[in-house]
Structure 1
Amino acid sequence: MKEGYILKFYREKEGLTQGQLAEGICSITHLSKIERGITEYSPEITRMLSERLNRDLQKEVENYHRLSQRLKDWHEAMIMQRMEDADQLKIEIERDPMKEFPDFLLRYQLLLSRYELFTNKLEQAYSRLTDIQRQDLSHSPYDSHLVKHLLGIYYFLTGQYHSGIESLGAIDPAQYDNEEYYYHLALAYHSIHANITSYYYAEKALRFFRRTLNMLRIIDTETLMLVELNSKELHDFEDTRQKYEILLKSCDICHNSIERKSKLYNNYAFECFRREKDQEAAKLYEKAMSLLEKQNPFYLIALDGYLQACNRGKLLSKERLLELAREGLYEAKKGKFTRKCIDFKMHICLLEEDFEQYYQLIEQEALPYLRQSGEMIMIDHYEKKLFHYYMSQERSEDAFQLAKSMIESQKSYYDHR
């Protein structure tokens, strides 16, 4: 009996006591039972009660069901990544006072957090999620797992990959039917270079996105799987090239896929770079950059790759490379992208042949950042560089301590039991 709950909601919103609302209409006891949905009541009584609240009860009941559907539609728009729909639904829902109804308040707050993550307001989303966890709100099993999902997304977006895996891994799929979280698990495992596990969860996500006809997320997931396919060893290049061309054409078919297309060009360029096809890589990196504003973090990722390809392939003068590296550093600082700040500072050191400063950056900035985020392949890459530098500088004690740390962090095949 939603009518009673709705009467109570608007009574409390108007600041009326049960006695004030019931006066001359029914007893307080009867109103209390109506509000709790534990008694039969005449339409005449509910009509008089709603008129005193200046509400059309039938319209409010209809609005209750409409808002319930609107919240589902809003969540789906964000899962499907239909940005315009998500924006419009947010505006409609925020205008509706019933969003604060007890049945909707928690879900509304959670979806607002999801929207903030969706629009890169990360700290705002995290603050809201921690407030939700502190509040004494009744959580359904679904909402409890939605909190874990949203925290997992936040941890991934802020580079806390192990925390993201822990939060997402605690989700029980029997109580949470939004299998999109498999994709976020795949991304988190990809970020710590657990490629087989990442591919496993990506396959599960892909089945969900295909079942729900979510074309944009199909592109995302197939892109991730293609990256994993080439992760440990180079997959057949013609097959890789063909898959990238198909995904790029898929982006042209879909709306709102410019950033996806840029990411695809970036990944495609990286596969060329790994195969020492520097000129082809540089052209693809240029295409990736041309689709984005300079403030976009993915523009900076593509610029980083472009600098590497052009430097190794001697495609640009050192002066031009330095100019681009400084431009990248400026944008990275402005956007507070720590990882890219480190990358561009390292580019500048190498181009200026300031090797002492380069290795100092590895020691004092790059490795601490990478260890915190758990990027094992890059940790291994820079630790080896640093070890050889220590040896060349006859810093044997530093080399020994680094080697000891490297050995202790590695598990042998026979340890995985």
Structure 2
Amino acid sequence: MTDKPGDKIMEFGALIKFYRTQRGMTQGELAKGICSVPHLSKIENNSKEANEETVALLLERLNISMKEMEENEEQIKFLLREFSSHINFYLKDQIEDTNQKLKDIEHFIPFSKYIYIWELYKYRYLLFKGLLDKAELQRELLHKQKKNFSQHEDYLFRYYNAVFLMWKGQYKNADEILDDLFNENNNESFNGELLYHRAFIKSSLEQSGHAIHFGKLALQIFMNEFNFIRILHTLMLLGINYTHSNIYEEAQACFQHLIRNAEIVKEEQLLPQVFHNMGYLQQKMKNFKQALYYYQKSLMLQPDHNHDYLVTLYVVGELQYSLKSIEKAKACFEEVSSLAKDLGNKKFSLLAEFYLLKLVSSDKGFKYLETKVIPFLEGANEYADDLILFYKMLADYYNQKGMIVEAVKYLNKITE
């Protein structure tokens, strides 16, 4: 989104005071022969509007020309637009370069009409970098200035707040903000970034139909802009939601396009996710050998000591277990158990222990599932898919043992 600063004018009074104090001049020294000291004091406090000639003379005495001020203002405007564009197009090196250029002239920005746009873009930059603690501090600072925002600045602030809540996992609150912005019939509602974030949040809320709708709108805009990196991000989102919606042909087309093009635009970090999701798609389609092939490709491209590697490795273990490849499954779950402990991930530590026990004794495994795993997953209140799988496993286990009451108990949990 680009800046639309509205009707604010440059704060010449504050600017004159800043440079006067910086140069160690008294009000008398600056005002001599130009205006009275009380008049200068009123100008500096913006309680009196000075005419252009007086301002020009004061700036000249400070060795600053009106032309220089205008050039600085244009430079700020240009850099802010460039900054926004670089973030939109995910041009990471250029973002840092422009950010540094803005910091180099940051002392002047508070006196320009772009003061709030700059502070808003700082907020956006921190969100882009994933620096949520610093972003929260910037959010608090901006909230105190909210009453001074133009309509456009208020719009940006609400939009960035939605992105902040999204990264904090507060998807419902983020969705409500974006819904309000979208329904305001503002032309910016059809900005590719906002549509992408709508799709991302809808996906996180497991509303795949809505995620696909907004994702396709975002994709069209990114394609029109030749925004190649965001095209890949959106295809990933669409592929995941097509998979969840059992629209397998469309999902496969998205992932194949990603595999072909991720390396071309130097998004190699995306490939492990693409291969993982392609593996999951193949697994849903019952193409188990293909699924293992893509999961293994994902593992090969990942550092072996992070959360994503842990997730993929666990899925491989589950798949090997379902294919009766017991030794391979055991090896996977032993590695998952060790890595989960190193990473402090209790969920996968519990799940790996369940399968390792189950490989030794079905009864011991299901007792552990019922007394340790299920209570943890239910307490976390965020693992619905896992719970449904394990409720079904327990229901089948108790049904085979003729313990109908216990089986029905877990079947009922599935339908709750």
**TM-score interval, normalised by the smaller of the two chains:** 0.7 to 0.9
Distance 1:367 1:281, change over 3 A: same
Per-residue deviation, 1:325: 0.1
SS state at 1:317 partner = helix
SS state at 1:159 partner = coil
Per-residue deviation, 1:59: 2.1
Aligned residue number for residue 268 of structure 1: 278
Per-residue deviation, 1:30: 7.3
* 8 Å Cα contact 2:242-2:248 kept in structure 1: yes
Aligned residue number for residue 278 of structure 1: 288
CA distance in 2, matches of 1:217, 1:227: 15
Structure ID, larger Rg: 2
SS state at 1:359 partner = helix
* Bigger shift: residues 304-313 or 162-171: 304-313
Aligned residue number for residue 352 of structure 2: 347
Tell me the amino acid that sits aligned with residue 11 of structure 2.
Answer: Y
Aligned residue number for residue 238 of structure 2: 225
* Bigger shift: residues 388-397 or 310-319: 388-397
The structure 1 residue matched to 2:11, chosen from 5, 17, 40, is 5
The structure 2 residue matched to 1:74, chosen from 72, 83, 106, is 83
Aligned residue number for residue 199 of structure 1: 212
SS state at 1:254 partner = coil
SS state at 1:170 partner = helix
Unaligned runs of 5+ in 2: 1-6, 359-364
Cα deviations across residues 45-69 of structure 1 (Å, max 9, x unaligned)?
4444224434344223212211122
Distance 1:215 1:84, change over 3 A: same
The structure 2 residue matched to 1:180, chosen from 188, 193, 207, is 193
Percentage identity across aligned positions?
18
CA distance in 1, matches of 2:28, 2:386: 69
SS state at 2:114 partner = helix
Residue correspondences, number: 393
* 8 Å Cα contact 1:219-1:247 kept in structure 2: yes
Cα deviations across residues 56-106 of structure 1 (Å, max 9, x unaligned)?
442232122111221221122112111111111122212221233363332
The structure 2 residue matched to 1:363, chosen from 359, 374, 380, is 374
Per-residue deviation, 1:271: 0.8
CA distance in 2, matches of 1:100, 1:225: 42
Aligned residue number for residue 109 of structure 1: 119
Unaligned runs of 5+ in 1: 334-339, 408-417
CA distance in 1, matches of 2:329, 2:369: 17
Distance 1:2 1:29, change over 3 A: farther
Per-residue deviation, 1:315: 7.8
* 8 Å Cα contact 1:5-1:36 kept in structure 2: no
Cα deviations across residues 97-118 of structure 1 (Å, max 9, x unaligned)?
1233363332222222222222
SS state at 2:197 partner = helix
* Bigger shift: residues 12-21 or 72-81: 12-21
Per-residue deviation, 1:173: 4.8
Per-residue deviation, 1:174: 0.5
SS state at 1:233 partner = coil
CA distance in 2, matches of 1:146, 1:242: 34
Distance 1:30 1:127, change over 3 A: closer
- Compute the TM-score of the two structures, normalised by the length of structure 2: 0.80
The answer on 1:55 being equivalent to 2:81 is no
Aligned residue number for residue 41 of structure 1: 52
Per-residue deviation, 1:224: 1.8
